[in-house]
Amino acid sequence: MMPAPYRVRDGHLHFPEVALPEDTVLHGDCVQVMAGLPSESVDFVLTDPPYICGYRDRLGRMIANDTCADWLEPAFREVYRLMKPDTLCISFYGWTATEAFVSAWAAAGFRRVGHLVFCKPYASRSGLFRASHECAYVLAKGKPPLPARPVSDVSGWVYTGNRLHPTQKPVEVLEPLVRTYCPEGGLVLDPFCGSGSTLVAARSCGRRFLGIELDEGHVTTARARVRQPS
């Protein structure tokens, strides 16, 4: 999806805003797609962007745009614009590119308010250490309200087998985040939705959702998952 026509302002592409789609997956470059969506329309963002590490799994599968960072700051600027005031974005990230992620989030306007660690019962690789965790930063726009029952910043992990995506996240781990930090009936955005785990979690929690994905194959997978009966 690429809204048109566009115009150039301040060296950036700007598209006419359209009504925010809901409960769907849009195919395209998330920077371009988000540029056509209305400001301050999203209640919560939960996303797993490329880690900028050139990842290749045991089957040789790779992630689009995982070898460059030119998309990082523009993407999170758009995410920030789409978020309502006083809301949260939780973003997984690659620790080897921490400086790039932190710089992009700050440039977009985000304030870091938390850090999450998910402990795996297995090692995804071994080297100097056994890699047995995933991590995510909690980013704030404004001053989000405190939840009545905050989740722990250290929790467990469920192995998905990565059957649908090279870095498939478990729905069971995402559901508590959606349930706690997105208001009932709110809209969850995942601009790097991959196989759609965030969207499935949002649906199971009774939230509306919108996913964006660059890879056409993953778009097909994500759309099929969100159409399955609950």
pLDDT at residue 8, rounded to an integer: 54
Give the tokens for residue 73.
């700051």
- Supply the DSSP symbol for 64: T
pLDDT at residue 162, rounded to an integer: 84
Can you tell me the distance from the alpha carbon of 228 to that of 200, in angstroms, rounded to the nearest whole number?
A: 9
Tell me the β-bridge partners of 44: 88, 188
- Supply the DSSP symbol for 96: G
Is it the case that residue 14 has pLDDT exceeding 60?
no
CATH fold for the domain made of 7-227: Rossmann fold (3.40.50)
pLDDT (mean) for 112-135: 94
pLDDT (mean) for 14-42: 89
pLDDT at residue 2, rounded to an integer: 43
Could you report the per-residue pLDDT of 127-148, keeping only the tens digit for each? 999 999 999 999 999 999 999 9
Instruction: Please report, for the chain, the start and end positions of each structural domain, with discontinuous segments joined by +.
Output: 7-227
E strand map for the chain: 7-9, 12-14, 24-27, 42-47, 83-92, 111-119, 125-126, 130-131, 133-141, 154-156, 187-190, 208-213
Give the tokens for residue 184.
């009932």
Contact predicate 197/174, CB 8 Å: yes
Burial class from Cβ neighbours inside 10 Å (0-12, 13-18, 19+) for residue 167 reads buried
Q: Which of 148, 182, 155 is nearest to 169 (CA)?
A: 155
- Supply the DSSP symbol for 158: -
Tell me the β-bridge partners of 117: 135, 154
Is it the case that residue 64 has pLDDT exceeding 60?
yes
Can you tell me the distance from the alpha carbon of 17 to that of 4, in angstroms, rounded to the nearest whole number?
A: 10
Could you report the per-residue pLDDT of 2-11, keeping only the tens digit for each? 444 555 555 5
Using pLDDT thresholds of 50, 70 and 90, give the confidence band for residue 53: confident
Q: Which of 147, 57, 125, 137 is nearest to 97 (CA)?
A: 137
